[in-house]
Structure 1
């Protein structure tokens, strides 16, 4: 039954990735249509992040009331409705309001599945699971670029993605019998129990006193800053600082997500030959190399640098997640996972918008420096994490 359910989880992660890169690729055109400053992208993304945090924290409560399959389908449907709303309205205020359900739809899936995969699957499965998120995140900038090139209409891009989300919702609904079958076997009951387990603290020690937890949380914050700032602002950086046309920049902004997707597929195949710690540090130093390439004032090096940053980011997040039970112990992993996801959302909520403020006051040319700072922070804090301290416990 695991082999039947796992592809369904993969499909859910495709739907999770599809909306994530849309704002960044569409914003150079969106802010002109909406007649708002370029920095207002931060308002939208912060609202999306708030919705994601709310639904993540509510995932434990919701899973007591509804099946995991129902929560998944409802979450994807909510995102689809928000995306279709983006495709209809030209008002920034309405789009800002729609950003909340946009985020609410994503959080529950992310919060309930990561800990299960970390405990019950090998590292390669975590990488492949998040690669499917990358597939969704890679496709949407191309779709948006197509809409901008052929129709000069960013709303068409949102409409297409919204329809795709509706199709994925239908797939999940059709698969409901498979989810019910899973609940009737002992091994799959373990899956259901894990999905229904709320994010409560199981350790008697305060979280802050657990060895390595503060560096781990800082690493998640820094990683979120690198990933989300790259995804949100790369297209704008290409247009304003590297003088690439809006439609081409929207398409090439997907290089970052292509890098993540390809990198995670590769990581899955080589994960048996490397530890989580090794994969994390290989990825971080690759991201550092890509960031350095962004400083070179040529279009081709900027585009290639973004790709390399994506390749570098690829193994970092899945390996950090997968290492949680061996770093902090299985009895602590559920609560620690909640704190790690919250830290990631904290970085996602505040740090990409912070660059929007910086760029509005100074210039988007500071984009490489901003990414560079957080890559360095990520590397330094990761070396303070005591990986595998519970590997034999």
Structure 2
């Protein structure tokens, strides 16, 4: 039953990924319909991400009171309603209003399901959980591309995704009795899910140390911020870059952004198997180097095909970073403090998703979308730098 129920959780994470890539794929067409400036997409994205931050910060008490199953169900209802609102929005004001429940619903699902899987399933399932987020994020642009190809029917694209969310709502409603039952039957502890051998960290850090004061935590938080800045920046502005600078049709650009999310999806599926043999630290480093190489392909004055390949390469590189960093938290800082530090890291990650893509949009409006590859490259290089500084510090501490 636990395996069957895990499939339901994966489906819920698909619903989390589906809306994430829609706005960036549809914006070149939506911008024309609403006669809006380019950077408006950054404002909408910031509102969604801000809602995600708020809901993730309060998710602990909400989940404790109502349970993961009910919170996930209500959150999916909120996102389905918000996407329907996008489809029927007559003006930018309505898009802004609908962005609020879209973000609130996404944050609660993310925090709840990550915690549930960490507590009741083994470690490699986390990579596969985020792989299914990639499935949703990959399907989003594919669905949208079918509607904007030659017709600019972006509203029907949003409505279709809202319908898929509605089906998932029904599945989650029918599965509500299973959440507590699976949790009671599960014998996989959080310690087992994260890995063994953390007691020595607890001895080093001591019992009186506040989590935020633990050395290395801030380096980890900055790494999360930069990672989400790269991931969300490409998702939001990738299509605009390909349309505005590489002169691709909007539908074709959306398809290539889909390949970027496809790279993340495939990479996380493979990572789930590699974690049995390779440490999180090595997977994080390899992913960051791969993403940096892909960003370099965007910067260099190469033919358009190299830019298209770069999207997939960056996606493959980003794939193992986020789930492996989440799993590495107890190893780095000890199990006593890992839960609070996990919350700090996710809050900062959402902050990166909130502010870095709009910053990129602002820079693009001041100069041009040609700043896109340089922004991605500098962010990826900084992410690698802070991650390696953290690794060096942890090696000295041991």
TM-score bracket for this pair, using the shorter chain length: over 0.9
1:229 aligns with 2:233: yes
Give the conservation status (yes or no) of the 8 Å contact 1:115–1:333: no
Residue 344 of structure 1 and its aligned partner are, at CA, apart by 0.3
Q: Quote the RMSD (CA, aligned, Å).
A: 2.1
**Separation in 1, partners of 2:49, 2:359:** 14
Match of 2:318 in 1: 313
Q: TM-score, normalised by structure 2?
A: 0.91
**Separation in 2, partners of 1:386, 1:235:** 35
Moved more, 18-27 or 203-212: 203-212
Give the conservation status (yes or no) of the 8 Å contact 1:119–1:322: no
Number of equivalent positions: 381
Residue 211 of structure 1 and its aligned partner are, at CA, apart by 2.1
The SS at the match of 1:244 is coil
User: What's the CA shift string for 1:266-288, capped at 9, x where partnerless?
Assistant: 11121111100000000000001
Q: TM-score, normalised by structure 1?
A: 0.92
The SS at the match of 2:39 is helix
Match of 2:63 in 1: 63
Residue 65 of structure 1 and its aligned partner are, at CA, apart by 2.5
Residue 149 of structure 1 and its aligned partner are, at CA, apart by 1.1
User: What's the CA shift string for 1:198-242, capped at 9, x where partnerless?
Assistant: xxxx96423332121011001001101100001100000000001
The SS at the match of 2:288 is helix
Change (3 A) 1:240 1:274: same
Match of 2:387 in 1: 382
Moved more, 7-16 or 214-223: 7-16
Give the conservation status (yes or no) of the 8 Å contact 1:145–1:250: yes
Residue 303 of structure 1 and its aligned partner are, at CA, apart by 0.6
User: What's the CA shift string for 1:80-105, capped at 9, x where partnerless?
Assistant: 00000000113001101110001011
Match of 2:90 in 1: 90
Change (3 A) 1:71 1:91: same
Match of 2:142 in 1: 142
Match of 2:256 in 1: 252
Change (3 A) 1:6 1:204: farther
Give the conservation status (yes or no) of the 8 Å contact 1:14–1:136: yes
Gaps of 5+ in 1: 195-201
Match of 2:276 in 1: 272
**Separation in 2, partners of 1:388, 1:76:** 41
1:349 aligns with 2:354: yes
Match of 2:4 in 1: 4
Residue 69 of structure 1 and its aligned partner are, at CA, apart by 0.8
Match of 1:359 in 2: 364
